[in-house]
Structure 1
Amino acid sequence: MRDIFILLMLVFLFVAACKRPFLMTLAYLYVDLFQPQQVSYYLVNTVPVSMIFGAAAVGFFLVFDEKRDMGFTSLQGMMMLFLGWVTFTTFNAQIDDAWTKWDPAWKAIIFGVYLPFVLKTRQRLEAAVLTLILCVGAITVTGGIKTILGGGGYGTISLLVDSNTGLYESSTISAVSVALIPLVIYSYRFNKIVPKSRLTLLVAMGLIFSSALIPVGTEARTGLVCLGVLAALNFLRAKRKVVYAAVVGVFVIAAIPLLPQSFTERMGTIKTHSSDNSASTRVAVWMWTMDFVKSHPFGGGFYAYKLNEIEVVLHETVGEGNNAREVTRTVKDKARAFHSSYFEVLGEHGYPGITIFMLMLLMTLLRLRSIYVTTRQKAEDNWSAELAIALSHCIMIYMVGSLFLGAAFQSTLYYLIGMAASLQLIARRSQIAAKLKADEDNMGRLTAQARNSMRRPGFQA
């Protein structure tokens, strides 16, 4: 039954795109994020669905979509520069299978570059935002329900599929689900596609609640950090900060007794990383990475972490009460993943790579800030200001989560940057149109004044 539903869904998207070509771009977002080919049992999982819909999205745009109002932004240029650099480092990679990671990476980046060409209007951009949050929501709602039913646990919770890649990796979905909460709030309040109602309010609340449950169900410390960043950002925007802080405080205090013991114990290792094998190993890998790039300033290419060999000294407390004593032991390990997007880019693509990556993120936040400043006072463009804030909050939460998560090439990040570039182009066209209208109004007033002057008694040409 699941396979038939997925197949019918894909066919429906394909047919709908024949009438509205931009829908094929949304169909590819659905295929890439939700990955129906993995959810399917047998009908779809043997078909290269992603390749078919990706090629169809570009093909439908080139053949059927209008090419008016197209533009190119500096954000797209930074993504292209980053793609060029990681391609260069892949040619010089020290690991033979580096191209296997480059393949999904270049697709994610290039589709982020492509998005602004299609998302040229508010309706299209908001449709893409809804597609993004609903695809992620389909995963988080499943995880939230299983968490409530007691099916959570670190490394044990099963989402829609038993997979550890893409959004189905526990730490990744914890960070992404929390990061997208600002977009859920924006979509409920401002989107023009689905008007506000009690039903949409319930859907939005369900998505937010399930997203907040994912860090509990996965027991991923990254998710807890992201929730803290989200709370801090909302506090800065809150008009009644004391009330907001009090409500959040009461909610946290009330929720703590309801949390599973395994979750609270794992979150406690954030402060005691020296006795936690996983956390201590991450720090050791980061130290190795900084030493590695000193001799390899251009990085080692994709999968460079497979070159590392580390030693970790753990300090553990054995026994209880008066018999408690501290024991020190050394653990040797090798080929440990970076577990940080920034060290991932640094180790794989060197100093130039991390510089381009950080500039790309910083430029995105600055562009969104500029959009917010220039549109917040205009009633007709208020949605632009709110979407700019929502996107910037999403990216900031993702950036903080990426400190402890190797997701520098997760496609969601580049889709968010692509949407920011789309919003920049839409805001730019809106400003140009407003200026032209103002100039026309001024010209009309000047013409009217000139005519009135000519009608005055005693006027001579």
Structure 2
Amino acid sequence: MLDLALFLSVIGMFLLGLRKPFIWVLAYLYIDILAPQKIGWSLAQLLPVSLVAFLLAFGGWAVAEKKDGFRFSFRQGILLALLIWCFITLQWADYPDSAAEKWAWVWKALIFAIFLPLTLTTRLRIESAMLIMVLTAGAIIISAGLKTVGGGGGYGNLYLFVNDNSNIYESSTLATVSIALIPIILWFTRHGTIFPPDWRVKGFAAALIFACLMIPIGTEARTGLLCIAVLGMMLLRDVKKRFVYIGAAAALGLVSLPFLPSSFTDRMATIKEAQSEQSASTRMQVWAWTLDYVERKPLGGGFDVYIGNSFSYQMPVKEVDGNTTRVRYREVTESSRAFHSSWFEMLGEQGWPGLFIWTLLHITGIVQMERIRRRYAGKTGKIEGWQGPLASALQFSNVIYLVGATFQGIAFQPVILMLVGLQIALAEHVKRRESAIDKAAFKAVKAANKRADARGSAPDPAIP
């Protein structure tokens, strides 16, 4: 039944797109996040649904969509530059076969991020895309959250819809994405129009946010805990009663401690013991290896260049005997260890140029969202009251991603690139709206001047 339901859902969206081609864009968002072709075992695998949705989304826009006011933004140019540079580094990749496998999905994620803002030309479309993203990711998050509450979590033991340690289904990636979506979920509880924010929407949003907070516990992803801390600090900017917020957050943390599994608290405790924890120590060695590598190859070594790393190091190990604690050192040898950091992933694979382009993409996004937030600060109502809060939510999501990306190799994570596309779409929507207002105001002033000139040139009836 599940396989049939997934297949019919996808086919239904394809058929609806014949009437409204924009639905094909939403279909691709749904398919790329959930990967129903991997969940199903027969019908869902009959068609290359991801490729079909990708082609339909582009074809529908090219044939049926109006191109009035078409413009290519600066940040879309940055995405294009990143795409071109990744293709260039592919030509000298140290490991061509592995590089080709990663390129097979990276180019599609980048192309769609460039394309997405061209389709999100209205508030309804922007909101629709966000809603599909939240609900699709929410299906995974809710399932994982329920398993966590039921005691089915644990590092490497939280089984999701797909037994595939890639894309959003990788545990640390899911933890980061879950926390990054919380600001957007909160936006829907105040400014949503597709589902007006009544008690049902707010109740569902509260439950979904709870499930999002469960993901770092269920996956025991240390990065998720850092993302929660960053989110808590950023929300201080927008709350009105900050001391009440801080007190409530502290109380919630204290109350939840007794209910946390010991495996979770033990794993989180290793955050402050990086030198004596093998996973963290290995990451730092990989980062050191990457810095040495780019000294020799500043333009990078192409996708999956980490396969070539190999190193040995001395790791301190504490031994407790009664009241005596001794530290001895044991040699650890590792090879072909992943970067576990998007910053070093970009540096090693794409060199200094790639790291610069990727950093510029996200820094300009944070700055762009801040400008919109300030421009619409204090404005209310259905017309001007939603842009500023949405810019703030997308900015928060971006910052949370960058924190999580510091400890994960998710530089090209498709869900995050979709969020980048949403940022660009919002910025372009604001520009078009303000341009239209400026044009209307200019026309009004011009018409008033003409009327004034006409009155000034006409003879005064009081003069004979």
> Under a length normalisation based on structure 2, what TM-score does the superposition of the two structures give?
0.96
- Of 446, 455, 462, the residue aligned with 1:458 is 462
CA distance in 2, matches of 1:403, 1:273: 15
Structure 2 equivalent of residue 386 of structure 1: 389
Contact residue 309 and residue 337 of structure 2 kept, 8 A? yes
Structure 2 equivalent of residue 40 of structure 1: 40
1:279-298 correspondence to structure 2 within 5 Å: 279-298=280-299
AA partner of residue 63 (structure 1): V
AA partner of residue 83 (structure 2): L
Deviations 1:297-332 (A, max 9, x none): 011110100010022322122234325422211110
AA partner of residue 365 (structure 1): I
Following TM superposition, by how much is the alpha carbon of 1:452 offset from its aligned partner in structure 2, in angstroms? 5.9
Aligned residue-pair number: 460
Percent identity over paired residues: 37
CA distance in 2, matches of 1:448, 1:84: 54
CA distance in 1, matches of 2:50, 2:197: 33
Deviations 1:86-118 (A, max 9, x none): 110011101121111011111101100000111
Q: 1:317 to 1:382 in 2, by over 3 A?
A: same
Following TM superposition, by how much is the alpha carbon of 1:459 offset from its aligned partner in structure 2, in angstroms? 6.0
Moved more, 316-325 or 144-153: 316-325
Contact residue 226 and residue 401 of structure 1 kept, 8 A? yes
| SS state at 1:192 partner | coil
Q: 1:164 to 1:447 in 2, by over 3 A?
A: same
Structure 2 equivalent of residue 153 of structure 1: 154
Moved more, 431-440 or 169-178: 431-440
AA partner of residue 29 (structure 1): L
Following TM superposition, by how much is the alpha carbon of 1:456 offset from its aligned partner in structure 2, in angstroms? 5.7
Structure 2 equivalent of residue 232 of structure 1: 233
Contact residue 188 and residue 197 of structure 2 kept, 8 A? no
Moved more, 63-72 or 141-150: 63-72
Following TM superposition, by how much is the alpha carbon of 1:377 offset from its aligned partner in structure 2, in angstroms? 5.0
Following TM superposition, by how much is the alpha carbon of 1:402 offset from its aligned partner in structure 2, in angstroms? 0.3
Structure 1 equivalent of residue 91 of structure 2: 91
Contact residue 4 and residue 44 of structure 2 kept, 8 A? no
Say whether residues 1:116 and 2:117 are aligned partners.
yes
CA distance in 2, matches of 1:236, 1:123: 27
Contact residue 155 and residue 218 of structure 1 kept, 8 A? yes
1:10-159 correspondence to structure 2 within 5 Å: 10-97=10-97, 98-159=99-160
Structure 2 equivalent of residue 310 of structure 1: 311
| SS state at 1:237 partner | coil
CA distance in 2, matches of 1:323, 1:42: 61
Deviations 1:19-43 (A, max 9, x none): 1111100100100001111111221
Say whether residues 1:429 and 2:435 are aligned partners.
no
CA distance in 1, matches of 2:344, 2:412: 13
Contact residue 69 and residue 120 of structure 1 kept, 8 A? no
Deviations 1:361-395 (A, max 9, x none): 11111221222223335542221111111111101
Contact residue 224 and residue 404 of structure 2 kept, 8 A? yes
CA distance in 2, matches of 1:45, 1:220: 31
| SS state at 1:326 partner | strand
Following TM superposition, by how much is the alpha carbon of 1:197 offset from its aligned partner in structure 2, in angstroms? 1.4
Structure 1 equivalent of residue 356 of structure 2: 355
CA distance in 2, matches of 1:456, 1:327: 104
| SS state at 1:355 partner | helix
Following TM superposition, by how much is the alpha carbon of 1:4 offset from its aligned partner in structure 2, in angstroms? 0.9
AA partner of residue 283 (structure 2): R
CA distance in 1, matches of 2:373, 2:233: 19
AA partner of residue 31 (structure 1): I
1:252-271 correspondence to structure 2 within 5 Å: 252-271=253-272
Moved more, 36-45 or 323-332: 323-332
Say whether residues 1:249 and 2:247 are aligned partners.
no
CA distance in 2, matches of 1:287, 1:458: 91
AA partner of residue 73 (structure 2): T
CA distance in 2, matches of 1:457, 1:163: 87
CA distance in 2, matches of 1:455, 1:244: 69
CA distance in 1, matches of 2:199, 2:169: 30
CA distance in 2, matches of 1:239, 1:110: 40
1:166-177 correspondence to structure 2 within 5 Å: 166-177=167-178
Following TM superposition, by how much is the alpha carbon of 1:66 offset from its aligned partner in structure 2, in angstroms? 2.0
| SS state at 2:410 partner | coil
| SS state at 2:313 partner | strand
For structure 2, the residue ranges without an aligned partner over 5 or more in a row are none
Say whether residues 1:214 and 2:204 are aligned partners.
no
AA partner of residue 52 (structure 2): I
* Aligned-CA RMSD value: 1.6
Contact residue 171 and residue 222 of structure 1 kept, 8 A? yes
AA partner of residue 390 (structure 1): A
Following TM superposition, by how much is the alpha carbon of 1:163 offset from its aligned partner in structure 2, in angstroms? 1.5
Following TM superposition, by how much is the alpha carbon of 1:443 offset from its aligned partner in structure 2, in angstroms? 3.4
Structure 1 equivalent of residue 323 of structure 2: 322
CA distance in 2, matches of 1:338, 1:327: 27
Q: 1:456 to 1:71 in 2, by over 3 A?
A: same
Q: 1:95 to 1:196 in 2, by over 3 A?
A: same
Contact residue 70 and residue 120 of structure 1 kept, 8 A? no
> Under a length normalisation based on structure 1, what TM-score does the superposition of the two structures give?
0.96
| SS state at 2:96 partner | coil
Say whether residues 1:395 and 2:412 are aligned partners.
no
CA distance in 1, matches of 2:189, 2:42: 36
| SS state at 1:315 partner | strand
CA distance in 2, matches of 1:355, 1:155: 34
CA distance in 2, matches of 1:236, 1:201: 22
| SS state at 2:194 partner | coil
Structure 1 equivalent of residue 409 of structure 2: 406
Say whether residues 1:368 and 2:372 are aligned partners.
no
Moved over 4 A (4+): 447-457
Say whether residues 1:336 and 2:340 are aligned partners.
no
CA distance in 2, matches of 1:411, 1:255: 33
Deviations 1:133-173 (A, max 9, x none): 11111111001000000000001110112111111000000
CA distance in 2, matches of 1:324, 1:452: 96
Q: 1:46 to 1:288 in 2, by over 3 A?
A: farther
CA distance in 2, matches of 1:233, 1:419: 20
